[in-house]
Amino acid sequence: MTRTVPLLICLTAAAVLTVVLCTFIGPAGFGFVSTAPGAADIVGGIRLPRVLSAFFVGAGLAVAGAAMQALFRNPMADPYILGTSSGGALGASLAIVFLGGFFVPLFAWVGAVVAILIVWSIAGRRGVVAVETLLLTGIAVSFFFSAIVSFLIAIAGQNVHQILFWLMGGFWNASPADAILSACILLPAGALLFFMGRDLNALSLGEETAAHLGIDAARARWVVLGGSTLLVAGAVSIAGSIGFIGLVTPHVVRMLLGPDNRVVIPAAILVGGILLVLSDTLARTFFSDLPVGIITAFIGAPFFIWLIYQRGSVT
């Protein structure tokens, strides 16, 4: 408890530092104070929106991951668990194959939200929903949508490359509008989940326990799912499905600060943002703009294994 506040302050400083530093790093060079022609355009018009988008998307995925893990009482849950990423992938693939690549973000967003709505309505058909039902329905819907995406890839012809790149996730086309949009999703949804911290704590011990502790468990569940869906659908529509940030970040945070969600949520915002900005900077600077999803998985998976190996169990 005593080290929570100093650590949160350090994380905030690290986040600001990361955003600032990474804005001045890139294949085109340009140091901190550059007067070269075009420097302002590249730094302000391309890099800054990209860095900020990566930060907000990473933060959103991490928060949604932490919320899902608490809600599903399972440290292995990730933000895509209810079909958001496959729904987004289906929407994006449809736009690429049938609309020549126009409206990809919009279609991805609609696809992600539709996936969640389908899962909700199937799982909630009988009135009372068990989280287990939600989880299994999500997995089934995910597989079904993935099958359609695979079918689209099979018939896509020359668009295969574009679909595959979208699936791996990245920030190539991040515009100032994307940065603003992602901030506009993260700030309210992040605040919402932050104030649901207690409900998440109680829910992570079980819905009945939460109800016995005076929490409106049913309402809390829908609020958490709604907030997470907004965050994840937004992230998917801006950057495709970037893996591992949403799964690994909450574990890192719980290792540092313990499992209390009133602390985990704000810390996940900072750590998730930092991790994705660093990964994206790595991708665009040293790997000739590789999809950042490859980097996060490439670093995230071994890191996760190391975590499990170190602790003998997951946090």
Partner 1 sequence: MSDRHSIEAENLEAGYNADVIVKSVSCSFAEGSFTGIIGPNGSGKTTLLKAFSRVIPSSGILELDGKAVRDYTPAELGMALGFVPQDEGRPFPYTVLQVVLMARYARTSRFSALTPVDYDRCCRALDETGIAHLKDRSIRALSGGEWQRVLIARALAQDTRVLLLDEPTSHLDLSHQTDILSLMRRLAGSGSTIIGIFHDLNLAALFCDRLIMIQDGRLVADDTPARVLTPEKIRAVYGADVAVSCHPATGRIFLMPLASGNGSSEQVSSLHILVISGGGSGADLLHFLSGRGFRLSAGILAATDTDYLAAKALEIPCIAVMPFSQIPAHSLEKLKTALHHADRIIFSGHPVGPGNLPVLLALRDADPARIIIHLPADRDFNSYDFIKGAAAAALRELCAAGAECTGSFDGILGLLRPVSPHDRNLRSEP
Is 75 a binding residue for partner 1 by CB under 8 A? The answer is yes
Is 201 a binding residue for partner 1 by CB under 8 A? The answer is yes
Q: Which C-beta is closer to partner 1: that of 33 or that of 128?
A: 128
| Among the listed residues 146, 180, 260, 298, the single contact to partner 1 using CB under 8 A | 260
Main-chain dihedrals φ then ψ at residue 247, nearest 5 degrees: -85, -45
Residues 221-227: contacts with CB under 8 Å, at least 24 apart = 221/71, 221/129, 221/131, 223/192, 223/196, 223/199, 224/67, 224/70, 224/71, 224/193, 224/196, 224/199, 224/200, 225/71, 225/82, 225/116, 225/120, 227/64, 227/67, 227/189, 227/192, 227/193, 227/196
Query: At closest approach, how far in Å is the CB of 76 from partner 1?
Result: 10
Is 188 a binding residue for partner 1 by CB under 8 A? The answer is no
Q: Which region among 19-27, 51-59, 115-123, 254-262 touches partner 1 (by CB under 8 A)?
A: 254-262
Is 259 a binding residue for partner 1 by CB under 8 A? The answer is yes
Q: Which region among 147-155, 192-200, 236-244, 265-273 touches partner 1 (by CB under 8 A)?
A: 192-200
Q: Which C-beta is closer to partner 1: that of 83 or that of 197?
A: 197
10 Å Cβ neighbour count for 128? Answer: 8
Q: Which C-beta is closer to partner 1: that of 63 or that of 202?
A: 202
Residue type, 109: W
Is 215 a binding residue for partner 1 by CB under 8 A? The answer is yes
Query: At closest approach, how far in Å is the CB of 130 from partner 1?
Result: 10
Q: Decide if 49 contacts 176 (C-beta within 8 A).
A: yes
Q: Which region among 6-14, 114-122, 149-157, 194-202 touches partner 1 (by CB under 8 A)?
A: 194-202
Query: At closest approach, how far in Å is the CB of 312 from partner 1?
Result: 11
| Among the listed residues 206, 287, 305, 308, the single contact to partner 1 using CB under 8 A | 206
| Among the listed residues 61, 63, 167, 202, the single contact to partner 1 using CB under 8 A | 202
Burial of 290 (0-12, 13-18, 19+ CB in 10 A): middle
Name the token pair of 158.
Answer: 């020359």
Query: At closest approach, how far in Å is the CB of 304 from partner 1?
Result: 17
Query: At closest approach, how far in Å is the CB of 257 from partner 1?
Result: 12
Chain residues binding partner 1 by CB under 8 A are: 70, 73-75, 126, 128, 195-199, 201-202, 204-209, 211-217, 254, 258-260, 313, 315
